[in-house]
Structure 1
């Protein structure tokens, strides 16, 4: 029985097109910096990325929450206050702000750069909770006249229709702000004046600027508001019950009266005055058609919940259901408890802070990065000789792409580069160099096996790219997990780590590999020069050069002769066994030549 392995022809090498990915990469780089150039002329873009608080300095405020009735503030209340301030700051477009607790009750807010007066006012304002009846609910986007016609019908077209009249008029003071008739109660549609309707139609809750919170409205007037997620917008009547009338709120398992359903609910209890007000409200709402049978809980100017009134509640003990998870019910209860406090933020201090310490650390970080880059290049030159030129060019391209992308994100997304972010960029040097080493070693392995250089580059790339993709996938996954689980400066490190990992893939696939494909066609690299880093003799093979363009092949004996088994081969590694076999073949060839 013949057990000899079947001979197989080497896989044909597909013709490469290295100029195509290089051209695509060039277009991408030009597009990034062209966008920045246009932005510097037409907008507030800058060629340099914006810096975070630790590198640029900014404004620091120390706030102390105080209750007007002397009630005690719990640590949970402080956490909710921090969450509200963070939502305001993040939604206003200020990135890399630092919001932390100082001591038992103080809240420290650090805003990088020169924040606007509007942003500072958002931080200083108190958060209010109010219960308002729902008059109208709509989709979050801006409503146009064409959309009104398509939904209401062409028969309402004309200046007499209040919807179209409000949509047509400009903000020139012609819109009426007073109800046409005296409203009978807070749920009366008469509260929807021309001005209120106009504001509702033009409100865009998909715009982050409209979900910042911090808005203050008169309690006795109707308002338009968004939910925090920007998924709906509301017209709300005047306030029925103030949040300070809440006695307690807690998340708990929901029961249908006999058994637990598996869902959670929020138990809500009012004080004596609030019980009377809520009883009147519930009796009114329960008989109204949707959506006017809903009441909205408005915290910090945003609708955090708008449940339907299913029955009149006369004892001041309500339960809010809606298929809540345990986490959702606890979060809503926490918001309601916070809104029950008659809370104000007292500004203890407000001052400009410098970045002297951050600048010194940045200089040391850059110095460390330069030293690390120098050591990497020394190692590459010593180990890979001429291939180190490709390494230097690739690292330069990665630096250009990373810098341009960060500057573009700084302009378009408000991103600010922090010191941990700089650390992520320095770590990226090692990640990118690791990809080059994997690739070069795979190519050199093929040369050691006797393949000509163009074949070695093609086969080595097929073997290397799987390893590079796996390694970068692990790095990117780690960056994502770190970004979502961490807070503060660690997120800046995770962001730049993830960004540079993607840049590494782009550079290796669209620059390093195509560049090596081009250089291997030159005499210096393709001819296996001793300083090219691809010299077969230096790598352990014994090549026979057959002229430029004809490749390098390992020598073959004149006659088909199987070399004797190498003594002790069972204890050798694969590389040592192959080297021993090549030595045996050379000795056999020398004997034949004699």
Structure 2
């Protein structure tokens, strides 16, 4: 068995292993009752539940709800829904109402989660650790718990990051009018990456066993709190939305959306009720000049100012990271700045390497959390699909018609070779269906009508890749190569064209997915997914099958029904790629094929020149000998620059 044949069979084995893995995992999900053989459907095809919420201020509140507050409420609700695993949800505003449409049949916990009001808390920081879950013994924290987080490779937050990354200077909180004796340091401290996080060891273990002296005491790190701290995974998106806020009078652990660090904190000392408002703007130095950066300004009410003065007075004298306080919104730490001075007048500012957008985002989050706002459920009802089963049926029929037409065209144009196209489309369809069903189970993905449109478009993209390959094989046969040689040379050239074409399609799909909203993203997702699968099928199925077929008698000898008969291909038609051909000028010089010209040259060298009209059809042995002799020189010509190759397509 040749090396080429072994490589082809190995590729087919890899493809079979991929399909077995996909449907094996799906079977496990079906048997455990967590998955289905078919993908979940989105709102437009399956319907769902619609909840209309109305934001209401508490009695006696003087603030007003504006559009930015509604947008922030939508952001918080979307974060909760995403963390709960519900995909393809639609969350919009209509006037002063918030409309939440959840596909399928969401459970009661998800519905209750949507209607919860966001809470804002200020807690003192006790530990800052690595985002990954760790193990602990009975009384101590492992070294990995104390390792500060650097900058993880994947984002776990569903909302824009309001604070600088771990590699930048973190937040610095200063008094708007600092006292002379407590002026802030000239060096900004990095709250996200402290040099070390203290661990409650011998001395602090005794402290933890006693009653806490204040909110910054390690005594708040009880066994339950430390167990939660060790188990918390801040690389999991589910821990960035919809988490319970915990007991305000006990220790608490949460993830930071600013740098994905894991924080252990003391009890709540200041709440959103104590914060009057928040705003953002250019940062100013103590002399009143602009620094070029941006800051977030906090204004506390009289009661909050007194609480905050006590907090900053205690924290400013503690070691890192206990000189930080965490701002927790809806169970997620949105910032944990370092206290640089006592703040006694209720006016503070958070500064750092903010962009204008980051400062505005953090200010809006603080302002929203400070609102005495609740969400009242105006209606909670089941809704029918906006398009329904009728549109789904029509979409599937359209896809089936397109598939049948492609199959008929392939059989007419390529005869038996068309069955390779049909088999490739079946493999691509089975792979796509399995992957989408897995995504529906694992990530809650739901297929919309726009997504089905992307799958239908993919039929043409996939078939186009096969046509490029087959036509290149035909061109090589017209030049007089044997089928084995034609398959190898055609693959070298067609592969480049296929990869470039698919790369452009994938780039368009990714760009569309990032920039678009709603159903258009569903179209972009399935288009990108099928483009990747197209590359896999061509590499692991279509080309290996052609390599094996080229070694069969039916295809290798050019049977008239194989679609690869050199006599039926003709000499005056050459494929230029992607549906274009050239005729007439592409005919071989003197009306001879490559094999005939080589044979004539060989005879001329042996016994004198032979006129073109005196050269008859070469024997099979002569053709094989000429092709073998020309193999090396033609391979070199294939590698030459395109401008230097005459007749290259």
TM-score when normalising by structure 1: 0.82
- Give the distance between the partners of 2:431 and 2:84, measured in 1 at CA: 28
| Alignment check: 8 A CA contact 1:92 1:208 kept | no
- Give the distance between the partners of 2:409 and 2:262, measured in 1 at CA: 61
Aligned to 1:366: 396
- Give the distance between the partners of 1:138 and 1:15, measured in 2 at CA: 53
Structure-2 change in CA distance of 1:574 and 1:98 (3 Å): closer
**TM-superposition CA deviations, 1:408-438 (whole Å, max 9, x none):** 2222222222222211111110110110111
Match 2:589 to one of 576, 581, 584: 581
Match 2:27 to one of 22, 30, 37: 37
Superposed, which structure 2 residues align to 1:358-507 within 5 Å?
Answer: 358-507=388-537
Structure-2 change in CA distance of 1:535 and 1:201 (3 Å): closer
Aligned to 2:242: 213
- Give the distance between the partners of 1:431 and 1:421, measured in 2 at CA: 15
- Give the distance between the partners of 1:469 and 1:99, measured in 2 at CA: 38
SS, match of residue 145 in structure 1: coil
- Give the distance between the partners of 2:353 and 2:262, measured in 1 at CA: 21
SS, match of residue 324 in structure 1: coil
State the shift of 1:252 in Å: 2.6
State the shift of 1:70 in Å: 5.4
SS, match of residue 345 in structure 2: coil
Matched, 1:122 2:151: no
| Alignment check: 8 A CA contact 2:88 2:445 kept | yes
- Give the distance between the partners of 2:249 and 2:209, measured in 1 at CA: 17
Matched, 1:590 2:619: no
Aligned to 2:256: 227
User: How many residues are paired up?
Assistant: 532
Aligned to 2:80: 88
- Give the distance between the partners of 1:357 and 1:276, measured in 2 at CA: 57
**TM-superposition CA deviations, 1:461-489 (whole Å, max 9, x none):** 11100000001111111222222222222
- Give the distance between the partners of 2:435 and 2:17, measured in 1 at CA: 14
| Alignment check: 8 A CA contact 2:43 2:386 kept | no
Match 1:237 to one of 252, 266, 270: 266
Structure-2 change in CA distance of 1:196 and 1:16 (3 Å): closer
State the shift of 1:580 in Å: 6.2
Match 2:124 to one of 115, 133, 149: 133
Superposed, which structure 2 residues align to 1:3-152 within 5 Å?
Answer: 15-17=4-6, 18-68=8-58, 69=61, 71-102=63-94, 104-145=95-136, 148=140, 151=143
State the shift of 1:262 in Å: 4.1
Match 1:521 to one of 534, 541, 551: 551
**TM-superposition CA deviations, 1:53-104 (whole Å, max 9, x none):** 22222221111112112532111111111111111111111122221222x2
- Give the distance between the partners of 1:202 and 1:512, measured in 2 at CA: 47
- Give the distance between the partners of 1:399 and 1:223, measured in 2 at CA: 49
| Alignment check: 8 A CA contact 2:454 2:527 kept | yes
Structure-2 change in CA distance of 1:488 and 1:578 (3 Å): closer
| Alignment check: 8 A CA contact 1:450 1:541 kept | no
Matched, 1:332 2:362: yes
TM-score when normalising by structure 2: 0.76
- Give the distance between the partners of 2:229 and 2:491, measured in 1 at CA: 59
**Runs (5+) with no aligned partner, structure 1:** 1-12, 153-160, 168-177, 543-572
SS, match of residue 352 in structure 2: strand
